Amino acid sequence: MRALQNLDIHSLISLVTFLLCGSACAQDIFTTEDFRQDRERWTDPAYYRNNSADEMREMDTANAYGLEGMAQLGAAELASPYSYQSAWEHYQSWLEEADGGTQHTWETLPDWRGRFTGGDDRMYGGQNPASTVVEFLTPRYQEYFVQEMKSLADKRSWGANAFCFPGGFTTSVRDAEEFIITPDRTWVLGAGNNRNYIRWIYTDNSGHSSEDFQYPKWHGESVGFWNRDTLIVHTNQIRGWKGGLTEFTDQLETVERYRRVGDVLEGEITFYDPEVHVKPFHSKLAYELYTDSRPELRPLYNSCTDTNGPATKVYMDERGILNERLPGDPLYWDATDPRPWDTFLNISEERYRLYRNSIEDSAN
């Protein structure tokens, strides 16, 4: 009994799992000592206890940890339905089908007014088992993905929010709320608890920046055209980050298509990243009209420090778990401080004074 009391929660769960079903189910992502040695099992749903990637990401809740998932093979088709080899080929083909695009005026633009909610259908893998995601990735990014799943199985998670980092391109697509359209451009806006998003989509035939002025951006650079009431978008120059199925690189390019049908803005997005994907990945998108118009529910402009505290307060501790600095810690930053720069200047001046004093003492 005393030996059991000394076991941590992960070891205890592993022991219980082994006692219940023996060696047949003892080796999975929750019990393995080294996930890298299990490569042949990475495409087996049982390795993740039939959890989807989203279910794995919810493992930090006590009632979900280590349980059998509800994922279903073939729940959503992740492969692109198109035969295009690149995003630009994809985009140019649709532009040709649209005879160069529809040149809208203020009078002919479709009505996309309103605030929408919803977003991705399978951009993060949907209800497919996590093993399905592995099949879309190159060997290096397979390992990166399974490493993330393993960290979740150990209740270690990393999120951009915790460090006040931007969510990146995929978050700007998933969390879009308003589509403000004009004859020469469309703005896509979104607001979250601690972040704000904006994308510019240029439909004025100006094209992308010349190669000499291209560089990776958080939301990439988007150009598009109209095919009557349907908006087609090509995005490149996306900064490599984390999101969607897995990490992505600066090579990522996407093609999106949007059309409003009643109270739903229907869309789709196809991802092309040859360094990450062995074949293009595809997701449906659906944004439903938000009907609650109470003023108190209007989007707000938020900085991450308004609601989440500054990034310097959150850190990875010696256990590999996210932790937060408390008052008294030398690196603590009070998020309610109205003039934090003054606080830091005073601290730095005091530290510099002590440093100079120590130098003088050493000289004497």
> 19 and 162: one domain?
no
Domain boundary among 254, 274, 297: 297
What would the DSSP string read from start to end of 204-238? SS--SPPGGG---BTT-EEEEEEETTEEEEEEE-B
Domain boundary among 257, 278, 297: 297
| Inter-residue contact 131 to 42 (CB < 8 Å) | yes
What confidence score (pLDDT) does residue 11 get?
A: 43
Longest CA–CA span in the chain (Å) reads 83
Domain boundary among 297, 318, 349: 297
Residue type, 210: S
> 288 and 308: one domain?
no
Residue type, 333: W
User: Would you say residue 73 lies in a domain?
Assistant: no
> 311 and 192: one domain?
no
Q: Domain range holding 165?
A: 87-297
Distance CA 37, CA 146 (A): 11
Instruction: Name the pLDDT band for 2 (thresholds 50, 70, 90).
Output: very low
- 251-278 pLDDT, tens digit per residue, is 999 999 999 999 999 999 999 999 999 9
Q: Higher-confidence residue: 215 or 197? A: 215
C-beta contacts of 207-211 below 8 A and 24+ residues apart:
208/234, 208/236, 208/237, 209/237
Instruction: Name the pLDDT band for 1 (thresholds 50, 70, 90).
Output: very low
The structure tokens 């080796």 sit at: 27
Q: Which residues make beta-bridge pairs with 118? A: 287
Instruction: Name the pLDDT band for 311 (thresholds 50, 70, 90).
Output: low
Residue type, 337: D
The structure tokens 């931007």 sit at: 166
Q: Which runs of E-coded beta strand occur in the chain?
A: 116-120, 178-181, 185-191, 196-202, 221-227, 230-236, 241-243, 246-248, 253-261, 264-272, 281-289, 314-316, 322-324
User: Would you say residue 118 lies in a domain?
Assistant: yes
User: Would you say residue 238 lies in a domain?
Assistant: yes
Strands 221-227 and 196-202: parallel
> 234 and 332: one domain?
no
> 267 and 186: one domain?
yes
- 135-184 pLDDT, tens digit per residue, is 999 999 999 999 999 988 888 878 787 777 888 999 999 999 999 999 99
C-alpha distances (whole Å) from 339 to each of 92, 117, 343, 346 are 51, 36, 7, 11
Element (H, E) at 18: helix 9-21
The tally of domains found in the chain comes to: 3
Element (H, E) at 140: helix 139-153
| Inter-residue contact 316 to 325 (CB < 8 Å) | no
Q: Higher-confidence residue: 233 or 77? A: 233
pLDDT > 80? residue 280? yes
- Over its C-alpha atoms, the chain yields an Rg (Å, rounded) of 25
| Average pLDDT for 360-364 | 86
> 232 and 148: one domain?
yes
User: Would you say residue 75 lies in a domain?
Assistant: no
Instruction: Name the pLDDT band for 26 (thresholds 50, 70, 90).
Output: low
What confidence score (pLDDT) does residue 14 get?
A: 45
Distance CA 34, CA 20 (A): 22
Distance CA 44, CA 35 (A): 13
What confidence score (pLDDT) does residue 308 get?
A: 64
> 216 and 310: one domain?
no
| Average pLDDT for 31-43 | 95
What would the DSSP string read from start to end of 300-321? ----HHHHS--GGGEEE-TTS-
> 210 and 326: one domain?
no
> 237 and 312: one domain?
no
pLDDT > 90? residue 185? yes
Instruction: Name the pLDDT band for 3 (thresholds 50, 70, 90).
Output: very low
Q: Which residues make beta-bridge pairs with 79? A: 281
> 227 and 283: one domain?
yes
User: Would you say residue 316 lies in a domain?
Assistant: yes
Residues with Cβ within 8 Å of 191's Cβ and at least 6 positions away in sequence, in order, are 177, 197, 299, 300, 301, 302
> 104 and 253: one domain?
yes
